[in-house]
Amino acid sequence: MGGDPYPIRRMQDADVAGKTVLVRVDYNVPLQDGGIVNDERIKASLPTLEDLLVRGAKLVLVTHLDRPGGKPVPSLRLDPIAERLGELLSRPVRKLDDCIGPEVASAVAEGKAGDVFLLENIRFHREETTNEAGFARQLAALADLFVNDAFASVHRAHASTLGVADHLPAYAGLLMQREVEALARLMSDPERPYLAIIGGKKARSKLGALRDLLARVDGVLIGGGVAFTFLRAGGASVGASEVDEGLLVEIPEILTSADQLGVGIDLPEDAVVATEVSDGAETEIADARAIPDGWIGLDIGPETIRRFQARIAAAKTIVWAGPMGAYEFEPFAAGTRMVAEAVADSDAYSVIGGGETGEAIERFGLTDRVSYISTGGGAALAFLRGKTLPALEALRE
């Protein structure tokens, strides 16, 4: 990637004609009643697969699905994924019943250029998550080279993301390259002001990221369930809102660090509250620091939205991880929707940290109006925190 701040080996530079390519994809898609609910992750892999096929490769695809705990789970088999991928590629995709073993090796060996094989759910083997060397060696033995296109898993040192790179020439797929390019732009010299928007239900999942981001950003907006733990740590009454009591000692330290660094942290002034989480819930607007007993804070309120909109409009770089409330339910969707519209309307370079935030952007029809939506929420945050991502390091030039 030339002078890019994070140079990695690109699949465009590999000779794949007549070769068998092991491709780590991320098809961890939601299933319901045996069908795929959302196929965006499958579609995201198509440019990589189509490029390799046009250049004469035979493909062996590897992915995990959910967390089967190292044993086969019938409902987590990949047959519906193979079927959908075949439709999208307009060619047969042969799903194999395992990931390793003589039958798998024989099937792949008998294939020809242009064939596509999908191995069974890699997490049916406990050796995947422990990165067992012999297991990684057997996977690698199926192919001539390795292409990793599963950015969402690069922070995991698993056999199919890291171990196989010890045995095969390893390259980044096209999606992996786009992810790294988009996120590296926030690391090298972001245009300022650089604003982080942090939300989501659980404060614990965001606190480490927030702590590390303080040294990189100019301001932070905090909404969602995360905000109520912060408010409670400051002595506020937050009713029955979700609070992680174990974090109340840490939060004042984070606020002190932010103050020392000159980074403003904005918390909600008001909140949409209810006594239940449902589409039919009766709501009220309450002072975010004085929520009545028994009431739950489930979205940021109108005053907070206006203040957040003004901060967003002034930003030149934005990273957003976590919705502002329980946006899946209409009474609590306004905060996330209006923050999303403000990001879309801004002139800032905006990166959305995947997961629920990406789903919200899609739901509100704003996908084409933000700069980039990452496919890996946890991996994206780890990258932006400056953490070492094992599987990505294996692709370094």
Active site residue 239: no
List 199, 219, 301, 378, catalytic entry: 378
**Residue among 322, 342, 332, 343 at smallest CA distance from 300:** 332
What residues contact 63, with CB distance under 8 A and at least 6 apart?
Answer: 24, 25, 26, 27, 28, 78, 81, 118, 119, 121, 122, 150
Active site residue 235: no
Structure tokens that stand for 54 in this block:
């046009």
- Are 382 and 389 in contact, with CB atoms under 8 Å apart? yes
List 325, 355, 358, 377, catalytic entry: 355
Structure-token match 């033995």, residue found: 141
Residue 336 and residue 316: Cα distance in Å, rounded? Answer: 20
List 202, 369, 385, 387, catalytic entry: 202
Q: Which H or E run includes 230?
A: helix 224-233
Pairing of strands 283-287, 270-274: antiparallel
Residue 347 and residue 350: Cα distance in Å, rounded? Answer: 9
Q: Got the DSSP string for 50-92? A: HHHHHTT-EEEEE---S---SS--GGG-SHHHHHHHHHHHTS-
List 24, 41, 156, 311, catalytic entry: 41
- Are 291 and 271 in contact, with CB atoms under 8 Å apart? yes
Residue 132 and residue 150: Cα distance in Å, rounded? Answer: 19
DSSP state, 154? T
Active site residue 246: no
Active site residue 378: yes
What residues contact 25, with CB distance under 8 A and at least 6 apart?
Answer: 45, 48, 49, 61, 62, 63, 149, 150
Q: Which H or E run includes 264?
A: strand 264-266
**Active site members:** 41, 202, 355, 378
